[in-house]
Structure 1
Amino acid sequence: MIKSKDDYKMYMCMDAQALGKKNKKIVLLGNEIWRFERALRHYEYHLNVTHNRVLILFWRIIYRSLSYKLGFEIPPNTFEGGLRINHYGNIVVNPEARIGEWCDIHQGVNIGTGFDGGVPEIGDNVWIGPGAKLYGKIKIASGSAIGANAVVNKSFNEKGTIVGVPAKKVSEKGNIYIRKLEGVN
C-alpha cells in the first residue's frame, strides 16, 4: 500500500519495470494498460497520502474510465508494486484481497470471496495464468505459478506450479521469472 511519496515513486518504478517501460510519462494514445496502472497508482497515492478531494476525484474518474474500457475491476490498494497486466480483458479482484510484489496476471482472472467470506492472500513473484480463479481464505506462497484455468480454493504454502480443477501442485519449480527492482537509488 502506498503510504508516502517515496512509496509512490517506488511503485511507479516497479510497475514501469514490470511492463518494460523506460518512460514513466502518460502517453495520450496507445498503451492503455500502462495508462491504467499509472492512473491506479495516482489514485492510490492521493487516496492514501494527500487526501486532496479534487485530485482523488480527478484520478478516480480516469482510473474508472480506463477500468471500464479495458475490462479490469482492480480496486485500489490490492496489488503491491511491480504489477504486470499482460492483456486487456476481464480481470476481477476483490477489494479485500492482498497481492504481493511483482504479480504477473493475465486476462480472465478472478480473485474473489469464497463461501467462508475470506479472500486470497497472494505472495510476491506470483504468475497467474489466463482464466485462473482463486477464491476463499487461502494463501499462495511467493514464487508460485498458477496455471491457465486453474481453480484454486485451498492454500499452497510452498512455492510450486499449481494447475487443474480443483488445483493441485504438480511441480516444485514455480515461477521461473523472479523479478527485483533494478536501478533505484
Structure 2
Amino acid sequence: MISTKEDLKNVIELEKKGYGRNSLIRRYLRELRICEYYKNRGGVTWLLFKLHNFYRNRLGLRLGFEIPLNVFGKGLHIFHTGNIIINGTSSVGEYCNIIGSTCLGSKNGGNGPTLGDHCELGMNSVVIGNVQIGNNVYIGAGAVVTKSFKQDGVSLAGVPAKVVSHFKIDESSN
C-alpha cells in the first residue's frame, strides 16, 4: 500500500521499466499508483484524487483495463492491452506479470482471489472465487482456476486448472 510520497516515487520508478516513454500502459500504471497514494493519504487531497482518477478511468477505457485501487503490490507489469478485469476484493502480491485478457473475479458476490508474490497470468487466464494462489506461480494461457493452489513454484494450466509442472525457485533473484 502506497502511503508516503517516497513509496509512490519508488513504485512509479520501478514500474516504468520495460515501457516506452509514451506508452499508454506506463501512463495508466502511473495514474493508478498516484490515485492509490491520494486515496490512502486522505485529508484534503480529494480534489487531486478526483482529477487523477478521472484520467485513470479515461485511460482504462481506452486500454480495456478495469483495475481497482490497492489490489496489486509493487512491480505490476502489464504486457498487452485489452480486457483486464480485476475484482475490488482481490489481492495480488508484489511483482505480478499480466500478459493480457485476464480476469480475477468473485463467485456469487463473495471475495475475490488472493495471489502471492511473483505470479504470472497468461493470456485469457481466469481466476474465479475466494481462492488462494501461492508465490512464484505461473497460470497458463486459457487456464480457469476455481480452487486454491497454495504450493509455491508451480505452473497451472487447463480447464479447470491443475498443476502441470513444478519448478525450482531461485531465492537469489527475489
TM-score (norm 1): 0.86
3-state SS of 1:157 partner = coil
Pair 1:55 & 2:60 matched = no
Equivalent residues of 1:127, 1:175 under 8 A apart: no
Q: What is the distance in 2 between the residues matched to 1:43 and 1:89? A: 21
Deviations 1:121-142 (A, max 9, x none): 0000001000001011111111
- Which residue of 1 is the match for residue 38 of structure 2? 46
Amino acid at match of 1:40: L
Structure 2 counterpart of 1:161, from 146, 155, 159: 155
**Shift of the alpha carbon at 1:65?**
0.5
Aligned 1:8-27 pairs, distance under 5 A = 8-17=8-17, 20-21=18-19
3-state SS of 2:73 partner = coil
Equivalent residues of 1:99, 1:123 under 8 A apart: yes
- Identity in percent: 35
Amino acid at match of 1:146: I
The number of residues matched between the two structures is: 171
- Which residue of 1 is the match for residue 5 of structure 2? 5
Equivalent residues of 1:118, 1:136 under 8 A apart: yes
Structure 1 counterpart of 2:103, from 85, 98, 110: 110
Q: What is the distance in 2 between the residues matched to 1:16 and 1:175? A: 25
Q: Which runs of 5+ in 2 are unaligned?
A: none
Q: Which runs of 5+ in 1 are unaligned?
A: 181-185
Equivalent residues of 2:88, 2:112 under 8 A apart: no
Q: What is the distance in 1 between the residues matched to 2:91 and 2:134? A: 12
Q: What is the distance in 2 between the residues matched to 1:102 and 1:12? A: 13
Alpha carbons of 1:70 and 1:10: their partners in 2 closer, same or farther (altered >3 Å)? same
- Which residue of 2 is the match for residue 183 of structure 1? none
- Which residue of 2 is the match for residue 73 of structure 1? 66
**Shift of the alpha carbon at 1:12?**
1.4
3-state SS of 1:87 partner = coil
Equivalent residues of 1:125, 1:175 under 8 A apart: no
Highest relative contact order (Cα 8 Å, sep 6+), 1 or 2? 1
3-state SS of 2:16 partner = helix
Alpha carbons of 1:38 and 1:165: their partners in 2 closer, same or farther (altered >3 Å)? same
- Which residue of 2 is the match for residue 145 of structure 1? 138
Runs of 4+ with >6 A deviation: none
Q: Alpha carbon RMSD of aligned pairs, Å?
A: 2.0
Amino acid at match of 2:156: I
